[in-house]
Amino acid sequence: MNSTYAMERIKGISKHFAMITDHSVRNLLGNSLQERLKKEGLDVHLFSVEPGETSKSRKQVEILEDQMFQVGLGRDSAIIALGGGVICDLAGFVAATFCRGIPFISIPTTLLAQVDASIGGKVGINIPFGKNLIGAFHPPSLIVIDPETLSTLPANHYRNGMAEVIKYALIASAELFEKLQGDLSIEECIATGCRIKKEVVEKDPKEKGLRRILNFGHTIGHALEAATEYQLHHGEAVALGILAEGYLSYRLGYLQEGKFFQIKRLLEKYRFSLQLPKGLNREKMIYRMALDKKTISNRPRFVLLRDIGEVHPFEGAYCRHVDEVLLEEALQCLE
C-alpha cells in the first residue's frame, strides 16, 4: 500500500488500531503493513486467525474482542480488516459491536473481497444454523484497494472474484460484458465492479428490493455450495448458478436464446466448469434453495435477466417464483 492519500485518511480515523488478518495474509502483507503504520506514529496491534470460513465464528469474535481489551484498545480505537471476504466479514462484525461500535477500515486482498465483500456494509459470522445468519450493517469508514496484492492469489480464488465481475456485467452493464470478451485489465474489472455494487447498495442499503439483483446466480449458487459441503468454491457455484438462472430467463421468454449462449461462452472463456459436480445430492440442494433469503411460502424466487446488462424488475420485487418442472430443466442444462 503505497498511497500517501490512503495513509493520511487512515491517520484521520484513529491513532490506535487492531489489524485483523489471517495467518497467510499476515506473512504476505500484514507484518510489513504493521511496520509501515508504526513508522507513521500509529499504535497497531496485529491479530491473526486461521485462514478460511471456519474463522467466521462466535468463538473467534470472542477471542478477538478479549485480545483487543487485553492490549488496551477501547472506544477511541479502530479496526483494520486486512484479507479476503472472511476477514472483511469477521473484523467488520467485531467493529460493529466492540464498545458499541468503532470504525473499521477495509483493505481487501482477494478479488472477491475487492469487488464484493468489502463494499456494502454487510458484516457477519456463521453459526451452525447457516452462513452469515448473525450480522450487522456496519459500513467501513475507508476501503483501500491495491490490485498488486492479488499477485500472490491462487487461480481458483481469482476465478471466485471473476464470477462476481461477470455477474455485475449481466445485471448492470452490457458494456462491461463486451469488454470482458476481450482482454480487460484487472484494474478496470475492479473499478467497474465496485462502482456497480456501490450504486446498487446506495439505492437500497437494507435490501428491500433493488439490492436483490446482486443475488443473480446466487439462489442456485448458494444451494450448490451448501449441498457440496462447500467443496465447490463460491465463484464456481455462482458460475453454475448464473448459467442455470440465465437459462430460466431465456425459457421464460425474457432473454433471447442467442444471449443465453453468449453468457455460456463468456463463462467458458474464464474457464468455469459448467457441469454439476458428480454425486451431487439433488434433494439436499433443492432443500437448501428453499432456505434462500428471497424465499416466500417455502418456494424460492430467482432474479432473472431480460437482457445482458438488465434485470427484470417484476414491479420492484426483482425476483419471481419458477415452476418446479422448469427448474429441473435448468438444472439438467448443467449436466
Ligand X SMILES: NC(=O)c1ccc[n+]([C@@H]2O[C@H](COP(=O)([O-])OP(=O)(O)OC[C@H]3O[C@@H](n4cnc5c(N)ncnc54)[C@H](O)[C@@H]3O)[C@@H](O)[C@H]2O)c1
**Near ligand X by CB under 6 A, which window of 66-74, 83-91, 220-228, 269-277?**
83-91
259, three cell numbers: 444471449
Determine if 157 is a binding residue for ligand X (CB under 6 A).
yes
CB of 36 to ligand X, least distance (A): 16
Helical H segments across 174-318, by residue range: 174-180, 186-203, 218-227, 234-251, 257-269, 282-289
CB of 235 to ligand X, least distance (A): 8
Determine if 53 is a binding residue for ligand X (CB under 6 A).
yes
Catalytic site residue from 26, 164, 225, 236:
164
**Residue in the block written with cell 463494499:** 119
Determine if 201 is a binding residue for ligand X (CB under 6 A).
no
**Near ligand X by CB under 6 A, which window of 68-76, 151-159, 259-267, 316-324?**
151-159
Figure out which of the listed residues 122, 159, 259, 294 binds ligand X, where binding follows CB under 6 A. Answer: 122
**Near ligand X by CB under 6 A, which window of 3-11, 81-89, 238-246, 289-297?**
81-89
Question: Is-catalytic flag, 195?
Answer: no
Alpha-carbon span 147 to 268, nearest angstrom = 24
- Cα-to-chain-centroid distance, residue 43: 30
Distances (CA, A) of 148 to 25, 130, 246, 263: 14, 33, 33, 29
Instruction: Tell me whether residue 1 or residue 153 sits nearer to ligand X (CB atom).
Output: 153
Kindly state the DSSP code that residue 296 receives in the 8-state scheme: B
Alpha-carbon span 93 to 106, nearest angstrom = 12
Instruction: Tell me whether residue 16 or residue 122 sits nearer to ligand X (CB atom).
Output: 122
Question: Is-catalytic flag, 122?
Answer: yes
324, burial (CB in 10 Å: exposed 0-12, middle 13-18, buried 19+):
exposed
**Near ligand X by CB under 6 A, which window of 80-88, 241-249, 289-297, 325-333?**
80-88
Alpha-carbon span 236 to 224, nearest angstrom = 9
CB of 122 to ligand X, least distance (A): 4
Question: Is-catalytic flag, 164?
Answer: yes
Instruction: Tell me whether residue 75 or residue 206 sits nearer to ligand X (CB atom).
Output: 206
Distances (CA, A) of 131 to 156, 163, 238, 273, 292: 21, 20, 16, 24, 11
Question: Is-catalytic flag, 9?
Answer: no
Catalytic site residue from 167, 222, 288, 301:
222
Catalytic site residue from 2, 39, 100, 283:
100
Question: Is-catalytic flag, 211?
Answer: yes
Kindly state the DSSP code that residue 277 receives in the 8-state scheme: P
CB 319 within 8 A of CB 301: yes
**Residue in the block written with cell 452462513:** 131
CB 29 within 8 A of CB 84: no
125, three cell numbers: 459470522
Collapsing DSSP to helix, strand or coil, 173 comes out as coil
Question: Is-catalytic flag, 222?
Answer: yes
Determine if 60 is a binding residue for ligand X (CB under 6 A).
no
Figure out which of the listed residues 33, 79, 105, 117 binds ligand X, where binding follows CB under 6 A. Answer: 117
Determine if 16 is a binding residue for ligand X (CB under 6 A).
no
**Near ligand X by CB under 6 A, which window of 69-77, 145-153, 271-279, 286-294?**
145-153
Helices and strands in the chain, H and E counts: 14, 11
Determine if 109 is a binding residue for ligand X (CB under 6 A).
yes
20, burial (CB in 10 Å: exposed 0-12, middle 13-18, buried 19+):
buried
Figure out which of the listed residues 1, 6, 9, 24 binds ligand X, where binding follows CB under 6 A. Answer: 24
Question: Is-catalytic flag, 218?
Answer: yes
The residues annotated with a catalytic role in the active site are 100, 122, 164, 197, 207, 211, 215, 218, 222, 234
Site residues, ligand X (CB under 6 A): 22, 24-25, 28, 51-53, 56, 83-87, 89, 109-110, 112-113, 116-117, 120, 122, 132, 149-150, 152-153, 157, 160, 234
